[in-house]
């Protein structure tokens, strides 16, 4: 019975029960019957000739063969095993087990093909059966149904490695395959092709027609790309409107032909949506890698850089990797990362406040300022965000920047408004990556408590795209912070009607109307209609509205006449260093001429 206990302990893993010994008074079949009749595993016992001496009820069900029909038949004739993924036959190592008198496990991804023609995913082992004197009497095959486990693992694999929108593999799986291809080429020589693809005009479709149209265009483009590559090649969605292509065992000339076909396939897409028709295209960066190539990250950066040049040189074209240009690009990115990390360590950032002035008679919301930040070089020279922000976003440093800004903004607010019974509300921009980063909500709460800043005087501005994203973590963050007392503003609202759906389910305090509508509303009736519609929605929902990009007195007067609650832009005041603020320093003290040094072109979060 000791062996039986071993068997039941193994049920949660691979079924095994070795060594199995027959008692002197029992036959091989009788010993097996006593031990396995009540188990949940299929058990088949074969004698020294490989013929079946015993089969339990579970094995009858698995194979579709009765015990009577199976008795005396070769084990290999009744049990047909194959690889679940490739379909290749798997031989039962019966002879080896009998000769070597040791147990063996079946390989991964094993399936049992029953007479019903269905393939049952199984796990199992094959081992010897010993007589009491140590002689080998035969072998026993144990099989366990792992179909539910296999379904679960397959589903988890797809979730982790497949893009849910397009059905293509995602960036993680793509980079895994590139790494595998790089390993192969280092071992066996040869060459592979890697391409970075960017869908041209996607942003136009997404902005004009909404998130749903953008998703459908991505699905159409993915299908067109997949149809033009071999089954053994990999096409992936890397994120947004970017795709990756891996062509294994491929020369440069062949890769150029394939990429040319992809250009034409996407160009042929005539995308129609609600009465509008769009033509789209591709920009492709292509490179060949071999046994001398560097790591995956370097290859991806090189292909990305080539794709960027394709866009800069006119789009709808292929750019071949140029090592000198790419080295400069990658070095520049790394230099940008070094500079931003150094600036964070040395506190070489300056916080600016731009006034958001009341435009209506209602002053109940108090005064608002948007807090912006800019970096300065060690010599005190302002650094253009275009020189480092792409690298910051690529290397996922936005949460680090956001934390720096929050920490120092809270400290400054506490110092400026200490003892003030009506402190101004400061609006801080948050990136999408910060909202879903671990511990971010706790960090904000801790900083507010440390600096004694009331949550009600802090408003977080989030991009409209964040509210459209199907990400419960973002919504959870917003609700948790709102319950704690913080306020929220949706930035650039109006780019997509899809946002209206999420707006109803989120606790939003302010809508900042997209600046493109504000800039054009004096000359474009459609833009004017959009501004009026967004303001009306805000009124119905009890949400204050803010007009951004108010650049002229005429625009400001129009904003006031429409009843919009707040205005922000050059006509209301430029950003000024928060060091110039004091508790009695009102938004009315700001003017266009006051701080030309606060140009929005030098801020992380541009605002006008």
Whole-number Å distance between alpha carbons of 198 and 596: 37
Neighbours of 577 (CB within 10 A): 14
SS3 577: strand
What pLDDT does residue 334 have?
53
pLDDT score of 16: 45
Q: Which residue has the higher pLDDT, 531 or 437?
A: 531
Q: Hey, which residues does 463 pair with through a beta bridge?
A: 491
193 compared with 278, residue with greater pLDDT: 193
598 pLDDT exceeds 70? Answer: no
Strand ranges inside 148-253, DSSP E: 192-200, 234-239, 242-247
pTM of the model: 0.48
Sequential DSSP letters for 521-569: TTT-HHHHHHHHHHHHHHHHHT-EEEE----SHHHHHHHHHTT-SEE-S
Neighbouring-strand partners of residue 128: 139
Q: What is the pLDDT of residue 46?
A: 92
Q: Is 436 within 8 Å of 473 (Cβ atoms)?
A: yes
Q: What is the mean pLDDT of the chain?
A: 81
Quote the CA–CA distance of 303 and 178 in Å, as a whole number. Answer: 12
Flag whether pLDDT at 571 surpasses 60: yes
- Give me 239's structure tokens: 């994120």
Instruction: State the Cα–Cα distance between residues 210 and 65, nearest whole angstrom.
Output: 58
- Provide the pLDDT for residue 323: 60
H helices of 42-137, in order, are: 57-63, 67-70, 75-78, 94-100
The answer to whether residues 353 and 369 touch, using CB atoms and an 8 Å cutoff, is yes
**What is the number of other CB atoms lying within 10 angstroms of the CB of residue 9?**
11
**Whether residue 336 has pLDDT greater than 80:** no
The domain segmentation of the chain, as residue ranges, is: 2-152, 162-321, 332-602
pLDDT on residue 253: 94
Distance separating alpha carbons of residues 41 and 141, to the nearest angstrom: 10
The pLDDT of residue 600: 34
Tokens 């016992």 appear where? 45
Q: How confident is the model at residue 35 (pLDDT cuts 50, 70, 90)?
A: low
Number of Cβ within 10 Å of residue 413's Cβ equals 27
The closest of 528, 606, 526 to 564, measured between CA atoms, is 528
Residue 149: closest CA among 14, 29, 25, 296: 14
Label the pairing between strands 192-200 and 487-493: unpaired
Residues forming beta bridges with residue 143, ordered by sequence position: 42, 124
Please check the confidence at residue 392 and state whether its pLDDT lies above 80: no
- Token pair recorded at residue 578: 């928060």
Which of the four CATH numbers 3.40.140.10, 3.30.70.270, 3.20.20.450, 3.40.50.300 does domain 332-602 have? 3.20.20.450
Tens digit of each residue's pLDDT (9 = 90 or more) over 201-215: 888 887 778 878 888
- CATH of range 2-152; options 3.30.420.40, 3.30.450.20, 3.40.50.300, 3.20.20.330: 3.30.450.20
Residues 210-241: pLDDT tens digits? 878 888 999 999 999 999 998 889 999 998 89
Cis peptide before 19 (omega within 30 of 0): yes
Q: What is the dihedral of CA 390, 396, 401, 407, to 10 degrees?
A: 170
pLDDT score, position 229? 92
Instruction: State mean pLDDT over 104-108.
Output: 88
Higher pLDDT, 322 or 379: 379
The pLDDT value recorded for residue 4 is 29
**Tokens 């302010």 map to which residue?**
510
Lowest-pLDDT range of 38-52, 57-71, 586-600: 586-600
For residues 608 and 599, the answer to whether their CB atoms sit within 8 Å is no
Q: Which residue has the tokens 């029960």?
A: 17
User: Is the model's pLDDT at 335 over the cut of 80?
Assistant: no
Q: What percent of the chain has pLDDT over 90?
A: 38
β-partners of residue 90 are: 81
When comparing pLDDT for 572 and 323, which is higher?
572
Q: Which has the higher per-residue pLDDT, 403 or 27?
A: 403
Mean pLDDT score, 176-199: 92
Checking if the pLDDT of 150 tops 80, the result is no
CATH class of 162-321: alpha beta
Q: What is the DSSP letter of 248?
A: S
Better pLDDT: 384 or 127: 127
The three-state secondary structure class of 319 is strand
* Residue 162: count of CB within 10 angstroms of its CB: 17
Which residue shows structure tokens 């793509």?
Answer: 174
């Amino acid at each position: 019975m000791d062996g039986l206990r071993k068997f039941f302990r193994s049920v949660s893993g691979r079924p095994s029960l070795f060594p199995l010994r027959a008692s002197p008074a029992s036959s091989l079949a009788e010993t097996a019957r006593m031990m396995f009749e009540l188990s949940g595993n299929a058990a088949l016992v074969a004698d020294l000739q490989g013929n079946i001496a015993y089969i339990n009820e579970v094995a009858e069900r698995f194979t579709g063969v009765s015990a009577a029909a199976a008795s005396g038949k070769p084990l290999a004739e009744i049990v047909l095993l194959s690889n679940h993924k490739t379909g290749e036959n798997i031989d039962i190592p019966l002879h080896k087990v009998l000769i070597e008198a040791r147990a063996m496990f079946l390989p991964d991804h094993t399936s049992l093909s029953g007479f019903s023609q269905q393939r049952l995913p199984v796990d199992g082992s094959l081992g010897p059966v010993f007589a009491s004197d140590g002689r080998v009497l035969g072998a026993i095959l144990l099989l366990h149904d792992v179909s539910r486990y296999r379904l679960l693992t397959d589903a988890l694999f797809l979730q982790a490695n497949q893009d849910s929108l397009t059905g293509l593999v995602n960036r993680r799986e793509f980079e895994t395959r590139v790494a595998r291809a790089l390993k192969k080429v280092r071992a066996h020589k040869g060459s592979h092709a890697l391409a970075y693809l960017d869908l041209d005009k996607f942003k136009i479709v997404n902005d004009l027609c909404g998130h749903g149209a953008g998703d459908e265009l991505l699905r159409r483009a993915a299908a067109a790309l997949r149809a033009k590559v071999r089954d053994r090649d990999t096409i992936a969605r890397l994120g947004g409107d970017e795709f990756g292509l891996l062509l294994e065992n491929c020369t440069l000339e062949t890769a150029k032909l394939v990429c040319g076909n992809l250009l034409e396939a996407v160009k042929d897409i005539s995308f129609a949506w609600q009465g509008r028709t769009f033509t789209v295209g591709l920009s492709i960066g292509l490179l060949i890698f071999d046994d001398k190539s560097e790591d995956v990250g370097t290859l991806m950066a090189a292909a990305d850089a080539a794709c960027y040049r394709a866009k800069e040189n006119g789009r709808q074209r292929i750019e071949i990797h140029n090592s000198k240009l790419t080295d400069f690009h990658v070095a520049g990115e790394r230099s940008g990362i070094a500079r931003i990390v150094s600036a964070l360590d040395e506190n070489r950032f300056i916080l600016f406040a731009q006034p958001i002035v009341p435009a209506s008679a209602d002053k109940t919301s108090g005064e608002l300022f948007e807090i912006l930040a800019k970096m300065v070089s060690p010599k005190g020279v302002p650094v253009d965000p275009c020189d480092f922000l792409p690298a910051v976003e690529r290397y996922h440093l936005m949460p680090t920047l956001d934390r720096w800004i929050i920490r120092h903004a809270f400290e400054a607010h506490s110092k400026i408004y200490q003892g003030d019974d009506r402190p101004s509300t400061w609006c801080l921009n948050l990136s999408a990556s910060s909202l879903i980063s671990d511990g971010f909500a706790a960090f904000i709460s801790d900083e507010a408590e440390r600096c004694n800043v009331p949550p009600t005087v802090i408003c977080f501005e989030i991009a409209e795209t964040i509210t459209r994203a199907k990400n419960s973590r973002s919504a959870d963050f917003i609700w948790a912070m709102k319950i704690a007392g913080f306020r929220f503003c949706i930035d650039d609202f109006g780019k997509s009607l899809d946002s209206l759906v999420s707006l109803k389910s989120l606790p939003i305090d302010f809508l900042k109307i997209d600046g493109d509508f504000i800039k054009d509303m004096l000359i474009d009736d459609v833009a004017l209609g959009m501004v009026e519609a967004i303001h009306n929605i805000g009124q119905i929902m009890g949400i204050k509205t803010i007009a951004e990009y108010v650049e002229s007195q005429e625009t400001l007067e129009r904003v006031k006449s429409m009843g919009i609650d707040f205005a922000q832009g050059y006509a209301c005041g430029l950003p000024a260093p928060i060091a110039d603020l004091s508790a009695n320093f009102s938004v009315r003290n700001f003017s266009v001429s006051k701080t030309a040094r606060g140009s929005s072109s030098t801020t992380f979060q541009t605002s006008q």
